[in-house]
Amino acid sequence: MTVAPVEIALPFAGRWLAMNSPARRVPSHGVDLFGERYAIDFVGVDDRHRTAAHADWRTVLHTEPPERFFSFGRPILAPADGVVVAVHDGEPDHEARRSQLALVPYALGQAARVRLGPAAVAGNYVVLELRESGAFAALVHLRSGTLRVAVGDPVVTGQQLAQCGNSGNSTQPHVHLQLMDSPDLAGARGVPVAFRGYREWIRGTRHPKVVALGLPGERSVVEPA
């Protein structure tokens, strides 16, 4: 049975690069674990669509400080009205990894992180129960110590929840968003999502199109309209 996507707003201001989009494939991240079936990642970029201002020897050979990336510290916003049903904080923000050399040991540790459970994968996170649909929205990889909400708090669309970070299973600062049928990341199933009102620069194009309701394509750059 086909399930209609739940309509929400983008969880940020400014321009962000869409990665691991369910517009490309489902499951979007290659697995159904932790409610990720329709998850999407967004990496903050500048007006030139760069994820970081510069590169140096560390970019090629080593790890890099998360502060180097435009995403790090940007506000993450509630994508819909709802109530906070789960939060987790205290996971460290890791060094970022663009280097293929630095990615090898990280990839080898992937299975161990999965075995440790949702917090090791999601890092710091907020889960909302959405008022209109009853679905649950998880926003993860948040910056340590920046959560502004607690369980039971009501939130409105566009309210700041935290800052973008690099906690959990993350190779560079970004926000991972997913909708689920349960607030329990360990056992939830993914729910399809659609975003309202955004501009989209499709990869390889110079001018954006305005999308009233849709799903960003893989490696498209988007911003709220």
Question: What span, in angstroms and rounded, lies between the C-alpha atoms of 152 and 99?
Answer: 41
Residue 105: φ, ψ to 5°: -65, -30
**CATH number of the structural domain spanning residue 85:** 2.70.70.10
Q: Residue 104: CB partners within 8 Å, gap ≥ 6? A: none
Residue 1 has pLDDT above 60, yes or no: no
Among 5-14, 93-102, 203-212, the minimum mean pLDDT is found in 93-102
Question: Does residue 22 lie within any of the structural domains?
Answer: yes
**Across 11-28, average pLDDT:** 97
Residue-level pLDDT at 190 = 96
Question: What span, in angstroms and rounded, lies between the C-alpha atoms of 169 and 114?
Answer: 9
Identity of the residue numbered 203: R
Confidence of residue 118 (pLDDT cuts 50, 70, 90): confident
Q: Domain tally for the chain?
A: 1
**Across 6-11, average pLDDT:** 98
Residue 138 has pLDDT above 60, yes or no: yes
Count Cβ atoms below 10 Å from residue 54 Cβ, excluding itself.
Answer: 7
pLDDT tens string 25-63: 999 998 888 899 999 999 999 999 999 988 777 777 779
Question: Does residue 183 lie within any of the structural domains?
Answer: yes
* Host domain of residue 38: 6-48+74-224
Question: Does residue 150 lie within any of the structural domains?
Answer: yes
Catalogue the E-assigned strands of 20-70.
40-44
pLDDT tens string 71-116: 999 999 999 999 999 999 999 999 998 877 666 666 656 666 667 6
Question: What span, in angstroms and rounded, lies between the C-alpha atoms of 221 and 203?
Answer: 7
The fraction of the chain above a pLDDT of 90, given in percent, is 75
pLDDT tens string 155-174: 999 999 999 999 998 999 99
Sign of the alpha-carbon dihedral angle for 76, 80, 84, 85: negative
**Across 178-192, average pLDDT:** 95
The fraction of the chain above a pLDDT of 70, given in percent, is 91
Question: What span, in angstroms and rounded, lies between the C-alpha atoms of 67 and 74?
Answer: 11
Bridging pattern class, strands 193-201 and 6-8: parallel
Residue-level pLDDT at 54 = 83
